[in-house]
Amino acid sequence: MANKSFPDLGGNINGPSIIEVPEWISNPLAKYYLYFAHHNGEYIRLAYSDFIEGPWKIYESGTLQIENSLFFGHIASPDVHIDNENKQIRMYYHGYESPVFVETPTDQLSDPNYSTGLRQQGTPQLTRVSLSEDGLNFTPQPEILGNSYFRVFHYEDYYYAIGMPGVLYRSKDGITNFEQGHSLFTPQMRHCALKLDKNILTVFYTNAHDCPEQIYFSNIELGHDWSKWKESESRVVLKPEMEYEGFDMPLVPSARGAIMDKVHQLRDPAYFKANNKEYLFYCVAGEQGIAIVELL
């Protein structure tokens, strides 16, 4: 799924999160919902398909809108989970808690997300959760949960999260009262994806400032005392090798923030398992599209 195929998306695609639509949702658009964002976007995007490999269609009106999000400036980085017990879809997302107007960079004035020379921005970016009964219409919850780029998993008696850069959190219900723990990895850690297999948590992630930015994985052995969790040595699982991944572009260290041009970078991994197969969704050429690989 590439920017050039969907020009109405504003020239930037990032932060994928995919679910298989649960049976208790009536009249779904398709079997799979793929949520994603524009790095400076005003709503959370949605694509849908009956097949993981696609083709994917865009749900034009989008899902959560910024005016209903309780945030300012932009909303992004959806992390979407199914709560079968309560028949709810949970979407963790981030934005700016307070508005500040700053001048838009000249090279971004043509971006449809910037209608004037001023744009809203605030600091810091923080995470909330929104709830939905159909996966399309979401109601945000007021509580701030933690840092941006929340990725959540359930283990034993708690919901845990990793926020950027590698900050651990936990909560009893996954919706309120997240307490902050220690940090994993390095301050350069960016977006991550999580795979839980019994007591082994595999973390897929990238680092800002890498050359090229590429996707690593590391394992964490989970014990009862979360303060003792520690990541293993990281290894590369994916790096740019194809033209659509930006392999044909110059090698330049990546930077934090949005990237509107094609670059030699991979970003934003998202783990998904279906039909006894494991997949990694990820952003290509910086933020020019979303690709899928099967993990073997």
Please state, in angstroms and rounded to a whole number, the distance separating the CA atoms of residues 48 and 136. 11
Whose tokens are 């599209």? That residue is 289
Closest CA to 13 of 262, 194, 279: 262
* Distance separating alpha carbons of residues 96 and 63, to the nearest angstrom: 18
Confidence of residue 10 (pLDDT cuts 50, 70, 90): confident
Q: What is the pLDDT of residue 213?
A: 97
Are 173 and 131 in contact by the 8 Å Cβ rule? The answer is no
| Out of 10-19, 28-37, 284-293, least confident range | 10-19
pLDDT of 227 above 70:
yes
Instruction: Say if CB 159 and CB 152 are below 8 A apart.
Output: yes
Q: Which residue has the tokens 């309780």?
A: 70
Mean pLDDT of the chain: 91
Domain residue spans in the chain?
A: 3-295
pLDDT at 101: 58
What is the model's pTM?
0.91
Is the model's pLDDT at 147 over the cut of 90? yes
pLDDT digits (tens, 9 = 90+) for 87-122: 999 999 999 988 765 555 555 544 444 333 444 555
Q: Which CATH architecture has domain 3-295?
A: 5 Propeller (2.115)
Task: Look at the block and give the residue holding tokens 């097949």.
Answer: 51
